[in-house]
Amino acid sequence: MNSKPSFETRSNDELGNGIIEKPTSATGFALWLRKLSVETGGIERVTDEQRAKNPSKVWNACTFWMSANMAVATLNTGTVGGAMGLGFWDCFAIIMVVNVLACLLPAWTATFGLTGLRMTTFSRYSFGYWGNLLVVIFSMVSTTGWNAINSISGASVLAALSDGKCPQWAGVIIICTTVWIICILGITWIHQLDAFLWIPPFIVWCVAAGTGARNFSGDAIKTPTGANGAASAISFIAVIFSFAVSWINCAADYNVKMPASTPRSKIFVATYIGIAVPTILVQTLGAAMFSGTATNASWKAAYHAYGVGGPLKMSLLPAGGFGKFLLVLAGLSSIPNNIPNNYSFALHAQNFGPWALRIPRIAFVTFGFVAAITVGCCAAAFFEDTLQTFLSIIGYWTIIHLVVIAEEHVIFRRSRWSNYDWDAWASRDLLPFGWGAIGAFAFGFMGAALGMKVAWYTAPIAGLIGTKGANIGHELTFAFSGVAFPVFRWVEKRYTGK
């Protein structure tokens, strides 16, 4: 009698010449994990039958993103406009208009989860088997960077609460460790927790808005005029846009267990509400809090000492001991904010090849956790420049990702899901190489290099606007990659047939 375990699923491996086999025989440890609803799978496509057994709900798409965006990092992003010299009403107008439009993009890509594939794996159909390695690398870098930035934002609040007795590096470790534990448990636990994790920070922001309102001022910082004013506005638009679209490379990952019959419109609306509403509200509060630094010297000193945690602490001072408790909740809001980054980091990494697919998801989650702590502790010392620079660069890459996926779907797949071979997701022989996407990627970053404005570099075209320059790298990235991809992709299809 054969003593080897039987195999329940077989799929093409990523070399296209074999199979990846998964044993169905479960050890005692595996049974224990299953009873606890711990996720043990990887990036394999979730079939209709698997989704029917333990489906996610449409409202999970809303509460998940509500929890992720109702965070102190969102508050921090709202302060960037004031730091650039913009008045409150300038910041509010940009926050409102840009988010209303930009949040449509991750809401659209969230519907891709109905394919049963995570976003980085789905990208193989447009970026190609080898070209998709660019997606993998940049997605891992962006999620690690966001992990660090979000953790630093939360750690600054804990540092302000403790008057510096809890240094930022310690706060980063606390937040990242908690996120790591939740991400190890997997998507079922994440959805269950995120159904409620948005509520505590929502209470914090409501109280802070009330107790700190007397120090907010719409006129404290005057609207800048001329070329310099335009440069500041354009650069802040880039920051807000980058924050909104940063979820594009993982938005689909949390909907792969929804029944295939789920209307895409419902996922779209739920995701849009979950991202847009908290982002607009909390970023606006951040802009208002920064205005307090212009009217109150103690607020300004607190901001310079602890970053966004400073004015938040000053806002909650009238609430006494309850305000201190709320500061703890505000700092811990970075936990659900970081869950998408640490969880999806592992899914991105498994797209490196057959060898990566054989490594347990938990191992990659742990690697991402260590990377986030390392980067977070180092970046805390230069946080303001790090935030602006990182948001800009991630925005360039995200635009290229979106352009390639959208043009492949609309132009070359004619917007028909039936034109995708879902069984080819892991096959090198059936997927394109990716020359079209590689060409678009190169041209897109050429546009970014001509128009970017970050702390350490002002591009030639960006430098033409105002005395310090303006970030127009996003617009040029979109134009360059949008024109290049259809041309390169058409050539690739003509000569390779894929």
Structural domains of the chain ordered from first start: 44-496 (1.10.4160.10)
Residue 168, Cβ density class (10 Å: 0-12 exposed, 13-18 middle, ≥19 buried) = buried
142-156, 205-219, 331-345, 421-435: range with lowest mean pLDDT: 142-156
Q: How far is Cα of residue 354 from the mean position of the Cα atoms in its chain?
A: 26
455 torsion bin: left (phi>0), alpha (psi -120 to 50), beta (else): alpha
Task: Report residue 472 as tokens.
Answer: 């127009």
54-58, 74-78, 97-101, 306-310: range with lowest mean pLDDT: 54-58
Distance from C-alpha of 276 to C-alpha of 274, rounded to nearest angstrom: 6
Task: Report residue 228 as tokens.
Answer: 């310099």
19-23, 269-273, 293-297, 447-451: range with lowest mean pLDDT: 19-23
* CA-based radius of gyration for the chain: 23
In 54-131, where does DSSP find H-type helix?
Answer: 58-69, 72-83, 88-102, 104-110, 119-122, 124-127
Q: Report which DSSP code applies to 222.
A: P
Please state the rounded mean pLDDT for residues 344-368: 91
pLDDT digits over 90-130, tens only?
Answer: 999 999 999 999 999 999 999 999 999 999 999 999 999 99
Residues in a beta bridge with 7: 23
Please state the rounded mean pLDDT for residues 16-42: 55
Give residue 218's pLDDT.
86
In percent, how much of the chain has pLDDT > 90?
A: 55
Sign of CA dihedral 195, 200, 206, 208: negative
pLDDT digits over 359-392, tens only?
Answer: 988 899 999 999 988 888 777 666 555 555 666 6
> Does 10 have pLDDT greater than 90?
no
Task: Report residue 119 as tokens.
Answer: 């976003």
Distance from C-alpha of 65 to C-alpha of 198, rounded to nearest angstrom: 9
